[in-house]
Amino acid sequence: MTATAASAATAGPAAAGTVRTTYRDAMRAALREALQRDERVFLMGEDVGRYGGCFAVSKGLLDEFGPERVRDTPLSEAGFVGAGIGAALGGMRPIVEIMTVNFSLLALDQILNNAATLLHMSGGQLNVPLVIRMTTGAGRQLAAQHSHSLEGMYAHIPGIKVVAPATLEDARGMLWTALEDPNPVLIFEHGGLYNMEGELAADAGPVDISRAVVRRPGERLTLVTYGGSLGKCIAAADELAREDISAEVVDLRVLRPLDTSAILASVARTHRAVVVDEGWRSGSLAAEVSARIMEGAFWDLDAPVGRVCAAEVPIPYARHLEEAAVPQVAGIVAAAREVVDAGG
């Protein structure tokens, strides 16, 4: 099962000093810690309070921290994201939750024209220490208005940071670091990961949000991925290993700014790469990764960099079509084989 594969790859063997948890609970623990450690922190979004969070991430926090700091909002994405920007300017440390990335388009004006722009446009006077969390991705048969992966669009915007926790450690640790960052940080949580279960160090805490990480070392090719596709890449690497194709799996973790050196370092070793991204292929983050490999490791390459992305369609409801629309293990394995067989 990809979920445990992913967490296993990161949590390592269950050891003393680890607890069994889920991505959802790890995220909630991070929220609780943030609310406890810094009274400037508050969580704001639709149904984060009384409802318990649309994916139950914030369940219980209302009782613990009250309606001021676990603040239910009306359906007003632009309004409450903008309010988060203003509150950040006013000295608070808001965590704004947007239920699903598709809805975040309603707030994109605030995010791009204000949050990402104010610091530079004001000549360095106004930084916006805001964290925005949202769910992304397909896999739950929620159809075309709830299933897209638009994080690549956000990764195009200067003035913000974009992270995608793919493991229990990162679900637990990225939030605090994001809150400490003086800039707007967007956290993309893949909806398919919330139930991912695994072992997490009992003392797990903040993690960096600047570096990509090799989740699985390998020699023959590099699989570059992030978020909901990490588990699939680990599974693909396992399958490739059975064919004696040793694949290295790089988890980008941070989608903006990209950790280019980590990508290039891996490709310098393997000379081959496939980028796996649940976003639509054209103009995907995968395209940027491919272009950077072109620019930074062209002479190292033994074959063209491959991409496994979402089909360029609105994600359909029917399970078989949804599965066909987004990267799957078999497709990753096939793409890896192709790249390995190609060229010299």
Ligand X SMILES: Cc1ncc(C[n+]2csc(CCOP(=O)(O)OP(=O)(O)O)c2C)c(N)n1
Q: How far apart are CA 282 and CA 295, in angstroms?
A: 19
Task: Establish if 45 lies at the interface with another protein (CB under 8 A).
Answer: no
- Answer yes or no whether residue 96 interacts with ligand X by CB under 6 A: no
73 binding partner (options ligand X, another protein, a second copy, none; Cβ < 5 to 8 Å by kind):
another protein
Task: Kindly state the helix (H) or strand (E) to which residue 152 belongs, with its residue range.
Answer: helix 151-154
79 binds, among a second copy, ligand X, another protein, none (CB under 5 to 8 A by kind): another protein
* Residue numbers 138-157 binding another protein by CB under 8 A: 140-146
Is residue 106 at the binding interface for ligand X, with CB under 6 A as the rule? yes
Site string for ligand X, 10-49 (x = CB under 6 A): ------------------------------------x---
- Identify which range of 31-39, 60-68, 224-232, 256-264 contacts a second copy by CB under 8 A: 256-264
Min dist. Cβ of residue 323 to a second copy (A): 16
Residue 143 token pair: 């159809």
CA dist 228 and 140 (Å) reads: 12
The catalytic site residues sit at 77, 146
Residue nearest to ligand X (CB): 103
Under the binding rule (CB under 8 A), the answer on residue 143 touching a second copy is yes
The residue among 266, 255, 33, 234 whose CA lies nearest residue 165 is 255
HSE of 16 in the Cβ direction (CA atoms, 13 Å)? 0
169 binds ligand X (CB under 6 A): no
C-beta of 108 vs 265, nearer to a second copy? 108
Of 48-56, 108-116, 163-171, 180-188: span binding a second copy (CB under 8 A): 108-116
Q: Which residues is 273 bridged to in the sheet?
A: 222
Contact indicator for 284, 234 with CB cutoff of 8 Å? no
Nearer to a second copy among residue 45 and residue 152 (C-beta): 152
CB of 294 to ligand X, least distance (A): 37
Q: DSSP code of 305?
A: P
Instruction: Please count the residues of this chain forming the interface with another protein, following the rule CB under 8 A.
Output: 73
271-330 binders of a second copy (CB under 8 A): 279-280, 282-288, 290-291, 293-295, 298-299, 301, 303-307, 312-314, 316
Antiparallel, parallel or unpaired: β 221-225 and 247-251: parallel
Residue owning tokens 């808001």: 94
**To 5 degrees, how large is the angle CA 232–CA 27–CA 144?**
55
CB atoms within 10 A of CB 104: 26
37 scored as a contact of another protein (CB under 8 A): no
As a whole number of angstroms, the distance between CA 301 and CA 314 comes to: 33
Please spell the DSSP secondary structure of 78-144, one letter per residue: HHHHHHHHHHHHTT-EEEEEEEEHHHHGGGHIIIIIIITTHHHHTTS------EEEEEE---SS--T
Residues within window 247-266 making contact with another protein, judged by CB under 8 A: none
Nearer to another protein, 57 or 230 (CB): 57
